[in-house]
Amino acid sequence: MTEPTRFRVRLLLEAAPSEPAPTTEGLQLRAASALEQAERERAIRAAWYWPEAEEVLPGLTHALEVSLATPPEDDLEQAVALTKAAAELGKALGARAYLWEDTLLAHDALAFTDQASDASVDDLPLYLWIAFEAREDEPSKISILTRGMSSFERPEIEVDRSGRELEEILEVVTDAALYVLTASTALEDGETLEVTRGKVRVRTMPSLRNDGSRALRLRLP
């Protein structure tokens, strides 16, 4: 039996489509509400990669939720297929932005469709799906926490108060996230992971979110 769809994308539009949607074979479409104020504020806070989000999102008053009618069993295959299908449908309907429902990550239409065009299981559009939330806990000490790995039934990844540059921390966390999503075996507590900038030790620890979950903590002093 086919697994139920796990992922959804919301197309955000300035107005209701003037014409019926083009061929949507394999997709489930549902009229959805535009972003409520709390959702919009959360999406704007998370959209550090899209400075115009605060100006654009309030003007998008119509939405269409997209999911796969018969999704693949593999979660990465499902997410890739939905991403590509939603991008094509959004282009046809004139979507101004896309929202990845699990994480409420909002993306400019051009950025979403550009990343979706090259997406595959071997080249994951990670930034469309996973939030990378950085904060400065004390002067020159940066923490990064992912949000969305759990949607793929993988542990979230965290760095606690690193003294390194934000760009380097983000690159290491991204490498770790890609490994965790695609590796056939889970990382063990205390294991060393090879990343672009060298090696990093991984611990399984209580999440910095203090929500009772456990996360993979990368040691980046």
Q: How many other C-beta atoms can be found within 10 angstroms of the C-beta atom of residue 42? A: 16
Higher pLDDT among residues 24 and 116, named by residue:
116
| DSSP track, 136-159 | EEETTEEEEEEESGGGGT---EEE
* Structural domain spans, the chain: 9-120, 130-218
How far from the centroid of its chain's Cα atoms is residue 178's Cα? 12
CA distance 5 to 15: 27
> Across the strands, what pairs with 64?
11, 31
Q: Could you report the per-residue pLDDT of 166-193, keeping only the tens digit for each? A: 999 999 999 999 999 999 899 999 999 9
**Helical pair 75-93 and 109-117, crossing angle rounded to 10 deg:** 130
Check: CB of residue 170 under 8 Å from CB of residue 134. Answer: yes
Rounded mean pLDDT of 108-124? 97
Selection from 113, 116, 180, 119 nearest residue 146 by Cα? 180
Give pLDDT, residue 216.
Answer: 98
pTM, 2 dp: 0.92
Strand pairing category for 214-218 and 157-162: parallel
Q: Could you report the per-residue pLDDT of 9-66, keeping only the tens digit for each? A: 999 999 987 666 666 789 999 989 889 999 999 999 999 999 999 999 999 999 999 9
